[in-house]
A and B are shown apart, each in its own frame.
Chain A
Amino acid sequence: MTKQQANWSPYDNNGGTCVAIAGADYCVIAADTRMSTGYSILSRDYSKIIQLADKSLMASSGFQADVRALQKVLAARHLIYQHQHNKQMSCPAMAQLLSNTLYYKRFFPYYAFNVLGGLDSEGKGCVFTYDAVGSYERVGYSSQGSGATLITPFLDNQLKSPSPLLLPAKDAVTPLSESEAIDLVKTCFASASERDIYTGDKLEIVILNASGIRREYLELRKD
């Protein structure tokens, strides 16, 4: 009789979509609040966005336990950085730290799909987009997660100038105003919720600018 093999997977996909858009003096980071497994919804009110530093926010979708562990590691490292340097980490510094942290587990990856958003040292909006093992680049906008395939082409079309499809991108950040960017994000999620079963319930939008940080919520389809 052959030995019975392990039949459990250490990974699960808890779904969800994240979007971030960088503006001249603001950054918008948004994610839905649905947490799923298989065809079931576990929670309709689970936040995927975390504030890692004064000017850095991270939104992550994928396997929630790995996302949680990743957030804890980054938060701990940021605390140590503050003790050692007596200042907050800048967004580009946090971006590098996130990349290194992900690659550290190259051979048993964090199943986390991240977008990092914030303000750089000059106060300009910045967005960094990642894959599961730490490959990253600074972009003007990005989307990750289960609804990304639906949202990215739409953003490419609407945000033409910072799009990498114009090679090289004409602008580093979108020329849109803050309220226009927020509207765009709401439209993205309303559309994604129609077709992606893992996206829906509620949208959490966090806006970071010179005057500070604020949150907005929008109800999404619950089916």
Chain B
Amino acid sequence: MLSKLADSTPAMPGLMLASAAGSDSQRTLYPYVTGTSVVGIKYKDGILLAADMGGSYGSTLRYKTVERMKPVGKHSIIGASGELSDFQEIMRYLDELILNDNMWDDGNSLGPKEVLNYLTRVMYNRRNKFNPLWNSLVLGGIKNGKKYLGTVSMIGVHYEDNHVATGFGNHLARPILRDEWHDDMTFEEGVKLLEKCMRVLLYRDRSAVNKLQFHSETLINVNDKLLLLSTAFEWLSKMPKFYTHKQIAKITEEGVTISQPYSLKTFWGFSAFQNPTVGAEGSW
């Protein structure tokens, strides 16, 4: 019986032929401008996604106002980490998907599960052709009261859970979420939990920038919608002054609101950082 295949050696014949024909330059080999982690959770009324607004060019933090989360159709939000140009291409695929869905004009619309399933097929297919879309995607949404949150990687590995994260988020945020996430969190609790995760990522992920966006997908009826929005603004006004402007994004049944970018408060005044060379003879 064939024993396990070595992970590091993909089947080569296809690649050989392509390089002979000179079309190797058409394949994605490595990413150029990348986004870092996206973190998402389910809460009482829907889904909350958070991501910073950075686009790194290798080790340079080149772009600082990149929207890495976008609404999709009526029911979903997508967040992406990895190559930003591939994310833009994915958005074009999704625009076409949603357009065709709308053209049916049958009163039905693609929910988050369907959209993520489509994306999983797309990612897997590109991986099969050895030309991946270099992204890890998070997709969340609500349809008919049912919440959905899932993720797919650049080689097509996908799963759903109450909380998901990409990249560094998997290592730093998921443990926090496993410990502190619980069912039926309020909006404020959800944002606070996500901020905690994003703060850890800001401290420890070198490609993170201190400029965040939140996206939320909420299911509320018309009366409640007005109530919920006003609660959000009230909460915003109570925020301490070092927050510049804040944007909280909500997707209700009727539309998406995206928060203004804002920054997290960080603390660098730990005594060990103040005079780091004290006690280390010979250091400078």
Contacts and interface: CB of A to CB of B under 8 A. Distances in A.
Interface of A: 3-14, 35, 37, 40-43, 45-46, 63-65, 68-69, 107-109, 111, 113, 131-133, 135
B1 A131 contact: yes
A11 B10 contact: yes
B14 A108 contact: yes
Contacts of A11: 5, 7, 10, 155
Contacts of B132: 8
Nearest to B162: A45
Given A6-B15, A10-B130, A131-B2, 17 more contacts: A4-B30, A5-B29, A6-B30, A8-B132, A9-B10, A10-B155, A11-B5, A11-B10, A11-B155, A12-B153, A37-B157, A41-B174, A68-B158, A107-B11, A107-B13, A108-B128, A131-B1
Given A6-B29, A109-B5, A43 B127 contact: no
B260 interface: no
Nearest to A40: B170
B27 interface: yes
Given A9-B7, A11-B10, A12-B7, A133 B158 contact: no
**Residue from A40, A65, A109, A132 whose CB has the most chain B CB atoms within 10 Å:** A65
Interface string B168-180: 0011001000000
A143 B218 CA distance: 44
B158 A13 contact: no
Given A43-B159, A46-B159, A107-B13, A135 B2 contact: yes
Contacts of A10: 10, 127-128, 130, 155
Contacts of B59: none
Contacts of A4: 29-30
Contacts of A113: 4
B159 A108 contact: no
A17 to B, nearest CB: 13
Interface of B: 1-5, 7-8, 10-11, 13-15, 24, 27, 29-30, 120, 124, 127-128, 130, 132, 153-159, 161, 170-171, 174
A9 B30 CA distance: 12
The 10 A-B pairs of least Cβ separation, nearest first, read A65-B156, A131-B1, A108-B11, A131-B2, A43-B159, A10-B10, A64-B157, A65-B157, A6-B29, A40-B170
B5 A45 contact: no
Contacts of B174: 40-41
Contacts of B13: 107
Nearest to B27: A6
**Residue from A6, A37, A69, A111 whose CB has the most chain B CB atoms within 10 Å:** A6
20 contacts: A4-B29, A5-B29, A6-B15, A7-B30, A10-B128, A10-B130, A11-B7, A12-B7, A12-B153, A12-B155, A14-B157, A37-B157, A42-B159, A65-B120, A107-B13, A108-B10, A109-B11, A113-B4, A131-B2, A135-B1
Contacts, number: 82
B29 A65 contact: no
Contacts of A64: 157-159
A42 B7 CA distance: 19
Nearest to B134: A8
Contacts of B158: 64-65, 68
A44 B24 CA distance: 39
B161 A45 contact: yes
Contacts of B155: 8-12, 65
A6 B29 CA distance: 5
Contact of A12 (B15, B157, B171): B157
A111 B5 CA distance: 8
A102 to B, nearest CB: 10
A97 B249 CA distance: 49
Contact of A132 (B2, B130, B156, B171): B2
A187 B3 CA distance: 26
B223 to A, nearest CB: 36
A200 B18 CA distance: 42
A9 B124 CA distance: 13
Contacts of A3: 24
A58 to B, nearest CB: 18
A111 B11 CA distance: 11
A132 B154 CA distance: 22
A112 B33 CA distance: 33
A157 B29 CA distance: 49
Contacts of B170: 40, 42
A150 B54 CA distance: 46
**Residue from B4, B24, B30 whose CB has the most chain A CB atoms within 10 Å:** B4
Contacts of A107: 11, 13
